[in-house]
A and B are shown apart, each in its own frame.
Chain A
Amino acid sequence: MSFEAAYSGIGRLDRLSYRDTVVHRLDPRAKVVATLLFVVVVVSFPKYEVLSLFPFFLFPVLMAALGDIPAGFIAKKVVVVSPFAVFVGIFNPLFDPSTVAIAPGVSVSAGWVSFASILVKFALTISAALLLIATTSFPGICRGLRRLGLPALFVSQLLFLYRYLFVLMEEAMRVVRARDMRSFGKRGAGVRVFVRIVGTLFLRTVERAERIYGAMLARGFRGDVPSMRREALRPSDAFFVLAAGCFFALCRFVPVPQMIGRLVRELAG
């Protein structure tokens, strides 16, 4: 993936977060808490659990559908980062060769089962995190975290990260373009040039940071980034967290797929 494509991907995620839907209108705090709960519950499943995880896909699917977020876009992003999860689990089938039966007459090594479990958990948690970002503006998330008690220093760091990510990426893009324009074939595209580009960008960033700090001081900055938004939680936010929490608890402690299976068998028999 080229640099410019990566940049436009992040830009798109950011633009999605400025839409106006039921999900976007929820208080950032509600969404942060629900997503955190979701991640914790999904990760808490034992390592051979696969089937019981599937009901959890309802959460990201609903968020995407109600938030009008293109599922294909999120799926693509999940695939892009999936190598991390694959490498974490790829040796499980070798190290864990004891066999288990997964269906009548079919048995595989337990390692494959735990590998599948890792992949499903990964897909669930990453898609939930991406959807949180796609349905909540980043400043909104930061405000939510601040009101949930995260220290001011962390929150201002996050805010600056977000604000200048785009500036830095555009700058990097211009430098890369300038290099590509004057490098022919392999010459000029090597590691040595790359290292110098990174060095240049670093120095420019330091200078820019100094100018920004100057601009902040010029407007009376004294250590804390002030905010004056005081949104109150609405009943719909509380309902969302409650409903999500109940759903997670249900899927965690009650084997839903097995129950559905039994029900189907009884109806058929």
Chain B
Amino acid sequence: MSHHLLEFRDVRFRYPDGTEALKGVSFLITHGESVGIVGANGAGKSTLLLHMNGHLLPTSGGVTVGDVPLRKETRPEIRRKVGVVFQNPDDQLFMPTVFDDVAFGPLNLGLPPDRVRERVHAALRQVGALTLADKPPHHLSGGEKSAVAIATVIAMQPDILVMDEPASSLDPKARRAVIGLLNSFAHSKIVASHDLDLILDVCARCLVIRDGAIVADGPAAEILSDATLLAENNLELPLTLQGRPAGEGTRR
């Protein structure tokens, strides 16, 4: 299944103001893998994600999705293969009702109305938001917005799902629901987050990025239990691995 591959080859990116955000990033993500991307604020996570669907194009080096190299002309094709869920659902949900928003992508793919309706219902059912279909996005709670934002992307049936902080600013129950949702996808998944417990729950593999370069790449369980490595990257052990004895939690 070569079309589910995502490869970065020595990708460098310089913003117009001269900041070099990526300094030679290389990795290969194969079919069905779930990969977490962690790193300090400003390490280059968002820039990296924006390359995955061609929102930014590398200054040098190459990105390949399946057998399609990322270029200006191939962007529409890449965007069909890679679905990106942005961090802030308010940026993602721009249509007047939830139904219209989820239908936006499939309609742009040129699907006939019946198929669009099917896909919208399937996507909303999968995220448990079918009852919200006729609501306007600004009447939704944060958790509902996140669920719908994910639905807008899975309705396009991408091969690879990319998410930027999928559970930030959610209450624990809504966060748990998102984790369950992510685990139910058979897609290749790429999740950037500071929520290391979420990465541990969802991802088998983990990349650590620092100053625009990858400094660690391996099994998530291994990397996320390496306290020294994490500390070097402004991170700390996931809470579930901190083994805090009961009663001491409040003093640290």
Confirm or deny: A211 has a beta carbon within 8 angstroms of a beta carbon on chain B: yes
Check A211–B91 contact: CB distance below 8 A.
yes
- Report the Cα distance A36→B137, complex, angstroms: 29
B227 smallest CB distance to A (angstroms): 35
Quick check: which of B66-74, B108-116, B121-129, B217-225 contacts chain A, the rest being far away? B108-116
- Report the Cα distance A164→B90, complex, angstroms: 9
Contact of A218 among B55, B95, B97, B109 (CB under 8 A): B55
Check A219–B79 contact: CB distance below 8 A.
yes
- Report the Cα distance A215→B85, complex, angstroms: 8
Q: What sequence of 0s and 1s flags, for each residue 145-161 of chain A, a beta carbon within 8 Å of any chain B beta carbon?
A: 00000000000000110
Contact of B55 among A14, A137, A163, A217 (CB under 8 A): A217
Confirm or deny: A162 has a beta carbon within 8 angstroms of a beta carbon on chain B: yes
Q: Which residue of B lies closest to A11 (CB)?
A: B138
Chain A neighbourhood of B238, CB < 8 A = none
Quick check: which of A119-127, A189-197, A221-229, A261-269 contacts chain B, the rest being far away? A221-229
- Report the Cα distance A211→B96, complex, angstroms: 17
- Report the Cα distance A220→B75, complex, angstroms: 10
Chain B neighbourhood of A220, CB < 8 A = 76, 79-80, 105, 108-109, 156
Central interface residue in B53, B88, B138, by most chain A CB within 10 Å? B138
Consensus secondary structure, chain A interface? helix
Confirm or deny: B27 has a beta carbon within 8 angstroms of a beta carbon on chain A: no
Contact of A212 among B84, B91, B136 (CB under 8 A): B91
Check B96–A159 contact: CB distance below 8 A.
yes
Chain A neighbourhood of B64, CB < 8 A = none
Confirm or deny: A208 has a beta carbon within 8 angstroms of a beta carbon on chain B: yes
Contact of A221 among B50, B108, B117, B139 (CB under 8 A): B108
Chain B neighbourhood of A228, CB < 8 A = 103, 107, 113, 116-117
Confirm or deny: B39 has a beta carbon within 8 angstroms of a beta carbon on chain A: no
B6 smallest CB distance to A (angstroms): 15
Chain A neighbourhood of B138, CB < 8 A = 163, 166-167
Chain A neighbourhood of B90, CB < 8 A = 167, 208
Check B105–A139 contact: CB distance below 8 A.
no
- Report the Cα distance A211→B85, complex, angstroms: 12
With A163-B138, A226-B103, A228-B103 as contacts: A217 and B96 at CB distance below 8 Å: no
Task: Tally A-B pairs: CB < 8 A.
Answer: 79
Confirm or deny: B152 has a beta carbon within 8 angstroms of a beta carbon on chain A: yes
Confirm or deny: A138 has a beta carbon within 8 angstroms of a beta carbon on chain B: yes
Chain A neighbourhood of B109, CB < 8 A = 220
Confirm or deny: B94 has a beta carbon within 8 angstroms of a beta carbon on chain A: yes
With A163-B95, A212-B94 as contacts: A219 and B108 at CB distance below 8 Å: yes
- Report the Cα distance A217→B78, complex, angstroms: 11
B51 smallest CB distance to A (angstroms): 12
Confirm or deny: B212 has a beta carbon within 8 angstroms of a beta carbon on chain A: no
Consensus secondary structure, chain B interface? helix
Confirm or deny: A214 has a beta carbon within 8 angstroms of a beta carbon on chain B: yes
- Report the Cα distance A142→B95, complex, angstroms: 12
- Report the Cα distance A139→B95, complex, angstroms: 9
B246 smallest CB distance to A (angstroms): 37
Chain A neighbourhood of B108, CB < 8 A = 219-222, 226
Check A211–B103 contact: CB distance below 8 A.
no
- Report the Cα distance A222→B50, complex, angstroms: 19
Q: What sequence of 0s and 1s flags, for each residue 96-107 of chain B, a beta carbon within 8 Å of any chain A beta carbon?
A: 110010011101
Contact of B96 among A139, A167, A212 (CB under 8 A): A139
Check B96–A142 contact: CB distance below 8 A.
yes
A166 smallest CB distance to B (angstroms): 4
Contact of A226 among B91, B96, B107 (CB under 8 A): B107
A257 smallest CB distance to B (angstroms): 42
Check A216–B107 contact: CB distance below 8 A.
no
B65 smallest CB distance to A (angstroms): 13
Chain B neighbourhood of A159, CB < 8 A = 95-96
Chain A neighbourhood of B91, CB < 8 A = 208, 211-212, 214-215
A246 smallest CB distance to B (angstroms): 33
Confirm or deny: B36 has a beta carbon within 8 angstroms of a beta carbon on chain A: no
Please name 7 further chain A to chain B contacts, defined as beta carbons within 8 Å, in addition to the given A139-B100, A215-B86, A217-B79, sorted by A numbering: A162-B96, A167-B90, A167-B138, A211-B91, A215-B94, A218-B84, A219-B156
14 chain-A/chain-B pairs, Cβ below 8 angstroms? A15-B139, A139-B97, A163-B96, A167-B138, A212-B94, A214-B50, A215-B84, A215-B91, A218-B83, A220-B105, A222-B108, A226-B108, A227-B100, A228-B116
Binding site for B on A (CB under 8 A): 14-15, 137-139, 142, 159-160, 162-164, 166-167, 208, 211-212, 214-222, 225-228
Binding site for A on B (CB under 8 A): 50, 53, 55, 75-76, 79-80, 83-84, 86, 88, 90-92, 94-97, 100, 103-105, 107-109, 113, 116-117, 136-139, 152-153, 156
Query: Which A-B residue pairs are the 4 nearest by beta carbons?
Result: A220-B108, A139-B96, A219-B105, A226-B107
